[in-house]
Amino acid sequence: MKIGIIGSGVVAQTLGKAWLGQGQDVALGTRDPNKLDDKKMFATSLREWQAQTENRGRILSFQDAAAYGEILVNATSGTVSLDALRLAGANKVGGKVLVEVANELDASKGMPPRALAAQDRCLAEKIQAEFPNLKVVKTLNTVNAFVMVNPKGLAGGDHTVFVSGNDAGAKAQVKELLQGFGWADILDLGDISTARGPEMYMAMWIRLWGATGTGNLNMKVQR
Amino acid sequence: MKIGIIGSGVVAQTLGKAWLGQGQDVALGTRDPNKLDDKKMFATSLREWQAQTENRGRILSFQDAAAYGEILVNATSGTVSLDALRLAGANKVGGKVLVEVANELDASKGMPPRALAAQDRCLAEKIQAEFPNLKVVKTLNTVNAFVMVNPKGLAGGDHTVFVSGNDAGAKAQVKELLQGFGWADILDLGDISTARGPEMYMAMWIRLWGATGTGNLNMKVQR
């Protein structure tokens, strides 16, 4: 399957490399696809990433990546996601699934960053409202990039990931992608408004990271 | 030990009964201690509660309960906690520990209730700021009343509870109270500002409750 990832940072690179390893076709969409040598925060340059993927991973503009993907992923920083999707022309790509993994974090007042999500500020809802053609599924925003693609590397995979979205078929497709990474406990929270839960949880995640000293953590929902 | 619980709803009643069962002395503080027969939401009347505790549990005014307790508990509804603590004269009780278990929830727009916590709206921080004499420790707000006092009743107790507070001695005292209920995995998140995490998590808890159909749930932090 062709996967078009909007974004080119650590999350985009990690998801992209993992899917390439499964034999999927992947393009990363970036603001300027000619800037292959820029250093990325927590990640390699895009030229290095391409080399690591034996040049199978494509680097395209936002717009070309959105056109390329049969399924799309929003892996931009949450504070710029709406802008990136506008630049990608996401309103013109038809009824594609958008796997929405972003968080709105603000590091402008220092570390730890502040999670900006709130009852009346949910990124996934805003994206779904502005791009009603897309089938938005919020998922994976509750773990870091390394846990996203290798859940079994933490506690043998005995922890939980969530999906929120209005379209049952889209959620089923996303569940298959999650299972492809090894996720076993996938909890469907409901429609896209339930994404407020995992987005506001980011404020908790940041404290768990601070208290445990590792970002390789996740919650197991005991019920 | 004498425990003064500000509040008389299901959380106050459940905590109080559990501590009485351990041989502690407990007073519930309520707005009007003469209204023993009022029906409480999700809970019994205070007269029934007293009968269930063989009349060992005291029912006092907010102010008398705050004076009575060697350790205090805020088990009011989060939206009225500051008012209740003002009525209790909490600024005049000296340097007591306040176990702060409340959540600010708004059910005025229907169910599920909306978690009002946000980066700039943290109840525990507001309480600590207004009552600097108290040693506020946020804990237990991430689980329902039944899990609070009987963690082993869920997944054999294999899940996590959190403490946030500025005073290490107060946190140590609260940890002992938690261990008395059977809590084994107690994670110290840091100072009182870290209570933003567990408070904002409430938005997630509400969705977990909706998705699983049970409030008898909690997270285990895998790390």
Tens-digit pLDDT profile for residues B159-198: 999 999 999 999 999 999 999 999 999 999 999 999 999 9
Q: Does A171 touch chain B (CB under 8 A)?
A: no
Average pLDDT over residues B55-79: 97
Within a domain: A217? no
Within a domain: A219? no
Domain residue limits at A188:
2-212
> How many structural domains comprise chain A?
1
- Structure confidence at residue B120 as a pLDDT band (50, 70, 90): confident
Task: Report how many Cβ contacts below 8 Å link chain A to chain B.
Answer: 122
Is B219 a residue whose pLDDT tops 90? yes
Q: Which of residues 141-170 of A touch B (CB under 8 A)?
A: 154-155, 158-159, 164
* A43 Cβ contact list (under 8 Å, min separation 6): A9, A10, A13, A14, A49
Quote the percentage of chain B above a pLDDT of 70.
100
- Structure confidence at residue B66 as a pLDDT band (50, 70, 90): very high
Within a domain: A220? no
Of B110, B97, B105, residue with least CA distance to B139: B97
Average pLDDT over residues B95-99: 98
Three-state SS string over B121-171 comes to: ECHHHHHHHHCCCCEEEEECCCCCHHHHHCHHHCHHHCCEEEEEECCHHHH
- Across chain B, what does the average pLDDT equal? 96
Interface contact flag, B219 A214, Cβ < 8 Å: no
Tens-digit pLDDT profile for residues B121-166: 999 999 999 999 999 999 999 999 999 999 999 999 999 999 999 9
Is B112 a residue whose pLDDT tops 90? no
Of A206, A212, A219, the CB nearest to B220: A219
Which pLDDT belongs to residue B101? 98
Of B116, B119, B214, the CB nearest to A119: B116
Quickly count helices (H) and strands (E) in chain B: 8, 11
CATH of the domain at A145: 3.40.50.720
Within a domain: A26? yes
DSSP summary character for residue B76 = S
Helices marked H in B62-119: 62-68, 81-87
Tell me the one-letter amino acid at B62. Answer: F
Local mean pLDDT, 10-residue blocks, chain A (223 residues): 97 98 97 89 91 94 98 97 98 98 93 88 97 98 98 98 98 98 98 97 97 97 98
Cα separation, A44 vs A201, in Å, equals 28
B206: part of which helix (H) or strand (E)? helix B196-212
Cα separation, B183 vs A149, in Å, equals 32
Q: Does B190 touch chain A (CB under 8 A)?
A: yes
| Nearest residue of B to residue A188, measured between CA atoms | B211
Within a domain: A159? yes
Interface contact flag, B204 A188, Cβ < 8 Å: no
Within a domain: A45? yes
Within a domain: A128? yes
Which pLDDT belongs to residue B109? 87
Within a domain: A218? no
Tell me the whole-structure pTM to 2 decimals. 0.95
Interface contact flag, A190 B212, Cβ < 8 Å: no
Of B115, B154, B207, the CB nearest to A222: B154
What tokens were used for B119? Answer: 């980066």
Q: Is B81 helix (H, G, I), strand (E, B) or coil?
A: helix
Q: Which residue has the tokens 């109270």?
A: B177
Which pLDDT belongs to residue A218? 98
DSSP chain A: -EEEEEB-SHHHHHHHHHHHHTT-EEEEEES-TT-TTPPBTTB--HHHHHHHTTT-SEEEEHHHHHHH-SEEEE-S-GGGHHHHHHHTTGGGS-S-EEEE----EE-TT-SSPEE--BTTB-HHHHHHHH-TTSEEEEESTTS-HHHHH-GGGTGGG-SEEEEEES-HHHHHHHHHHHHHHT--EEEEEESGGGGHHHHHHHHHHHHHHHHHS-S--EEEEE-
Interface contact flag, A200 B117, Cβ < 8 Å: yes
A216 vs B contacts (CB less than 8 Å): 223
* B110 Cβ contact list (under 8 Å, min separation 6): none
Interface contact flag, A204 B200, Cβ < 8 Å: yes
